[in-house]
Amino acid sequence: MGFEPPRRSPRTSTADLKAALKAPLPPPCVLLLNGGPGVGKFTISKLVSPKQLEDGVVILSTACLYTEEDTTQQFYEYLKIAMVRGIPLVMVNIFCDASANKARLTSDERKSNDKADVKTKLVDPDQWGKIRGNYTQLDPNLLNDHPYERFRKGYLRLLKLDTTQLSAEETAEKVLEFASGATVYQEDVYYSAAEMYQGV
């Protein structure tokens, strides 16, 4: 029997789900939800964003960042945004097992024509298989060859979150709980925004 992802009751509205989230509001940060197609980034961001944007202090973004150089540069752009504001980059690497991922990718809900974003979503399992088989999710802890690298440990908080057995609501709660503890970790020396760009 194939994987059946956790589902919310069809009678529960998105507004009710947003109101039901109990996690605290995160402090100022750049919150990056990173993951491959079909892991639930967009759904999670819809549940998380009302909580965050309430005070306008969290910058929320979703991405598919892999170890290839072009997406590595995108990661450093997110890090730069956080650095110039003196706030942490809270990166959540979202993933699930292949069976769950394929089920979510090919679900009727994802392919439904009444979804405004349907044209931008990958729903082809063959294309998904190539991506999943040929690319590795970006792990910033393995990067070490960029001018910003000496600042990464001071500004990055990374959560690797397996959502295979989690509903979207449970995942959103975990994301908010992690982000709410976000602080700028300072090493021996604290760098100001001006110092960061000297020689970069």
Whether 45 is in a domain gets the answer yes
Helix (H, G, I), strand (E, B) or coil at 62: strand
Structural domains of the chain, count: 1
Distances (CA, A) of 70 to 66, 74, 90: 9, 7, 20
Whether 137 is in a domain gets the answer yes
Helix (H, G, I), strand (E, B) or coil at 48: helix
The pLDDT score that the predictor gives to residue 28 is 83
The pLDDT score that the predictor gives to residue 92 is 92
| pLDDT tens-place values along the chain, 200 residues long | 443 434 443 434 445 545 556 666 677 889 999 988 888 888 888 888 765 555 557 888 888 888 766 788 888 899 888 888 888 889 999 888 878 877 777 766 665 644 555 456 766 666 766 766 677 788 887 777 666 666 666 788 888 888 888 888 999 988 888 888 744 443 333 333 333 333 33
The four Cα atoms 16, 174, 74, 153 give a dihedral, to 10 degrees, of 150
d(CA 200, CA 197): 5
d(CA 22, CA 25): 9
* DSSP-derived secondary structure for 158-188: EEEEE-TT--HHHHHHHHHHHHHT------S
Q: Domain of 83?
A: 25-184
Whether 86 is in a domain gets the answer yes
Element (H, E) at 58: strand 58-63
Q: What is the CATH number of the domain that holds 79?
A: 3.40.50
Whether 104 is in a domain gets the answer yes
The pLDDT score that the predictor gives to residue 32 is 93
Whether 69 is in a domain gets the answer yes
Distances (CA, A) of 113 to 9, 101, 116, 118, 125: 21, 20, 8, 6, 18
d(CA 188, CA 197): 19
Whether 189 is in a domain gets the answer no
